[in-house]
Amino acid sequence: MSEEEFIKNQLEWFTSPLTPEQFAELSESENSLIILEVALRDYTLAEIARIVESNNAHVMALSVQPLSGGSALLVSLKLDVDDPTAVLRSFERFSYRVVYHYMREGEVTDRQKDRLDELMYYLEM
């Protein structure tokens, strides 16, 4: 495949809506979502990726949307980890404003419930 064909394919993929099969494939590999509000002058993709990867997570998809006024951006990160808590704490430590976060239920919820049950058992002693 030539460079021009690759670029053409990427543009077609980028501008076309996702098929149900593509959506299912994406949703299987992306387990959590974090949306940050970042000042335009402070936006550095390399730093955001470094923070994510320093917590043993990987960015599976990224989307950037400018806010009205043009002074800030909304950065949407889809990650491959079930529990993005460490990533969220790192963003807070580096003064990023986390607007929204989502994680799939399952293993994380069960683990937190088990820990809460253990704490309640300990407190009842």
Cα 15 off chain centre by: 22
pLDDT at 23: 54
Residues paired with 74 in a beta bridge: 37, 65
Cα distances (Å, whole numbers) of residue 60 to 45, 85, 118 = 14, 17, 34
Tell whether pTM > 0.75: no
pLDDT at 51: 96
pLDDT at 32: 82
**pLDDT, tens digit only, all 125 positions of the chain:** 555 665 566 556 555 665 656 655 555 555 788 888 899 998 999 999 999 999 999 998 888 888 878 788 888 888 888 888 899 999 999 999 988 888 766 555 666 777 778 888 888 86
**Nearest of 115, 90, 114, 110 to residue 101 by alpha carbon:** 90
pLDDT at 92: 92
What the chain holds in terms of domains, given with CATH numbers, is 1-29 (no CATH), 31-124 (3.30.70.260)
pLDDT at 94: 93
